[in-house]
């Protein structure tokens, strides 16, 4: 339902309907900001990511093609790309690595209990916690840090040629655990 | 042994390659079903990971800042009536265009005439050669003939779209253009639907001939029209002057 609705809103947005644009903004603001913040670990950078994503969405630089999948997945992908881009630039200029202390699952308790993706989050967190440390690490380096294959190989101490296999295996385990975890509507 | 390219899937997904390497991998993807499947699989398997994020609160002013920035970047277009007549479309309800900063004119006719002419010569050679002998790495993608909107048969133009490696260029050549006043210039537009994007400008020589090479940065856009207008200043965001030549892509 919501997805269909997204696509309809997007169509209106593409026709320069400000109301549709703002509805989509409100719908995704918090998720995108939280996701950008998870990647960048920096409020300022996360806000820059948001601005870039939404301005390009409005002016059509980022154009969604509904035949290629869900709007939300597409929006999250462009957000991830921009956020990773930002940390690469930032790291280059500041000569620091932003994310040394973190792990895939944070110890902090989220402030907002009523947030929409709470259930998904708990389910995915629980599935991630069942992965072994190496698998958690490889997913984090690959997905949330966007490291190159070379860098993942160095950080994990595995040969370059086995990095892809590691990643796929870790992701598949995660998916299996999620599916076993009673989420029968998972594909929906 | 797998082809070397198969090992670049992770770097492709994460965008850690140069544009050239990415383009090369994309060519590989067309041939390698294994990589296509793996890429689709990784996309599916990572789809839910963003939901792992801990809820964080954006600052209260963010919404307004972003909406303002977005609306600021678009300007209403007032297309001249001639263009409308040419396009035979009436629906300009919400005319908005993109700023043209993404697009850039490489060479403006007259300033680097040598290069324009040599490129243009290549185009002619290519298009006249029925055997399809293409010049080196440039590939002619399509050629568009522009005709006078007012039925003036002495003026005409051709726009050729060339692909060179990853870049697309439009080479435009116009002949027998009507004289223009001092300070006026011919502005070229690429138009998709209701959105014109300035594609460079030129002033013609005394015979009314002019040319320019324009690097098309928005290749993905589905351009439908090339048009030339007369303007008082270069690179407006939307045409103000009258359309002299236009052609459907
Ligand atoms: Zn392959």
Q: How many Å lie between the alpha carbon of B78 and the closest alpha carbon of chain A?
A: 16
Q: Would you write out chain A's pLDDT as a tens digit for each of its 188 residues?
A: 455 589 999 999 999 999 999 999 999 999 999 999 999 999 999 999 999 999 999 999 888 988 878 999 999 999 999 999 999 887 765 544 444 445 666 665 655 556 778 888 889 999 999 999 999 999 999 999 999 999 999 999 999 999 999 999 999 999 999 888 755 444 43
H or E element at residue B141: strand B138-148
**What DSSP character marks residue A111?**
S
Taking all residues of chain B, what is their mean pLDDT, rounded to a whole number? 74
For A12, the enclosing helix (H) or strand (E) is: helix A2-14
Q: How confident is the model at residue B80 (pLDDT cuts 50, 70, 90)?
A: very low
- Contact residues, chain B, for A143 at CB < 8 Å: 46, 49
What pLDDT does B99 receive? 29
Structure tokens at A101: 């202390």
What sign does the CA torsion over B173, B179, B185, B187 have?
negative
B interface test, pick of A68, A86, A121 with most B CB neighbours within 10 Å: A121
Cβ–Cβ of A164/B10 closer than 8 Å?
yes
Q: What is the pLDDT of residues A143-172, one digit of tens each?
A: 999 999 999 999 999 999 999 999 999 999
Cα distance between residue A7 and residue A30, in whole Å: 19
A76: CA distance to ligand 1 center in Å? Answer: 26
Q: Which residue of A lies nearest to B8 if distances are taken between CA atoms? A: A149
- Minimal Cβ distance to B47: which of A29, A54, A73: A73
**Residue B95: closest C-alpha in chain A:** A16
Tell me: pLDDT of B229 over 60. Answer: yes
Q: Could you tell me if B123 and B140 are in contact, meaning their C-beta atoms sit under 8 angstroms apart?
A: yes
Instruction: State the smallest CA–CA distance between residue B50 and chain A in angstroms.
Output: 6
- Ligand 1 mean position to A75 CA, how many Å? 27
* Complex ipTM: 0.88
CA–CA dist B16, B10 (Å, integer): 9
B83-136 per-position pLDDT tens digit:
444 443 322 222 222 223 333 333 333 334 444 445 544 444 444 443 433 334
> Cβ B48–A104 below 8 Å, yes or no?
no
Q: Classify burial at A50, counting beta carbons within 10 Å of its beta carbon; exposed 0-12, middle 13-18, buried 19 or more.
A: buried
Report helix, strand or coil for A38.
helix
Cα B35 to ligand 1 centroid, rounded to whole Å:
4
**Cβ-contact B203, B237 below 8 angstroms:** no
Chain B: closest CA distance from residue A27 (Å) = 12
What's the pTM value of the predicted model, to 2 decimals?
A: 0.59
User: Which residues in chain A have their CB less than 8 angstroms from residue B43's CB?
Assistant: 73
Which chain B residues are closer than 8 Å to A138 by Cβ?
none
């Amino acid at each position: 339902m919501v997805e269909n609705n997204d696509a309809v809103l997007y169509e209106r947005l593409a026709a320069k309907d400000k109301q549709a644009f703002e509805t989509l903004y409100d719908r995704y603001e918090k998720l995108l900001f939280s996701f950008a913040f998870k990647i960048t670990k920096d409020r300022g950078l996360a806000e820059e990511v948001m601005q870039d994503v939404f301005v390009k969405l409005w002016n059509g630089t980022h154009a969604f093609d509904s035949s290629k999948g869900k709007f939300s997945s597409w929006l999250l992908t462009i957000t991830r790309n921009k956020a990773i881009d930002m940390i690469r630039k930032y790291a280059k200029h500041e000569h620091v690595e932003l994310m040394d202390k973190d792990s895939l699952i944070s110890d902090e308790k989220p402030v907002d209990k009523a947030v929409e993706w709470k259930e998904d989050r708990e389910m995915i967190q629980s599935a991630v916690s069942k992965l072994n440390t190496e698998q958690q690490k490889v997913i984090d380096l690959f997905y949330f840090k966007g490291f190159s294959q070379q860098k993942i190989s160095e950080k994990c101490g595995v040969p370059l040629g086995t990095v892809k296999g590691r990643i796929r295996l870790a992701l598949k385990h995660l998916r299996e655990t999620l599916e076993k975890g009673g989420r029968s509507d998972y594909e929906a | 042994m797998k082809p070397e390219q198969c090992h670049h899937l992770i770097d492709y997904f994460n965008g850690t390659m140069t544009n050239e390497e990415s383009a090369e991998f994309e060519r590989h993807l067309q041939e390698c079903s294994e990589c296509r499947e793996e890429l689709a699989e990784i996309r599916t398997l990572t789809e839910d990971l963003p939901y792992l994020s801990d809820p964080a609160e954006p600052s209260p002013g963010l919404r307004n800042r972003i909406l303002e920035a977005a609306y600021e970047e678009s300007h209403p277009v007032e297309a001249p009536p001639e263009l409308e007549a040419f396009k035979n479309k009436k629906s300009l309800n919400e005319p908005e265009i993109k700023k043209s900063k993404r697009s850039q004119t490489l060479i403006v006719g007259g300033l680097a005439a040598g290069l324009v002419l040599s490129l243009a010569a290549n185009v002619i050679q290519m298009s006249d050669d029925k055997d399809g002998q293409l010049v080196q790495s440039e590939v002619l993608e399509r050629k568009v003939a522009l005709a006078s909107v007012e039925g003036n048969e002495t003026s005409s133009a051709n726009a050729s779209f060339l692909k060179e490696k990853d870049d697309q260029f439009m080479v435009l050549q116009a002949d027998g253009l009507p004289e223009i006043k001092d300070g006026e210039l011919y502005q070229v537009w690429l138009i998709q639907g209701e959105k014109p994007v300035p594609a460079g400008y030129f002033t013609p020589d005394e015979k009314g001939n002019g040319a320019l090479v324009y690097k098309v940065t928005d290749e993905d856009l589905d351009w439908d029209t090339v048009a030339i207008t007369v303007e008082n200043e270069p690179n407006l965001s939307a045409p103000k002057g009258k359309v002299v030549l236009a052609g459907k892509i």
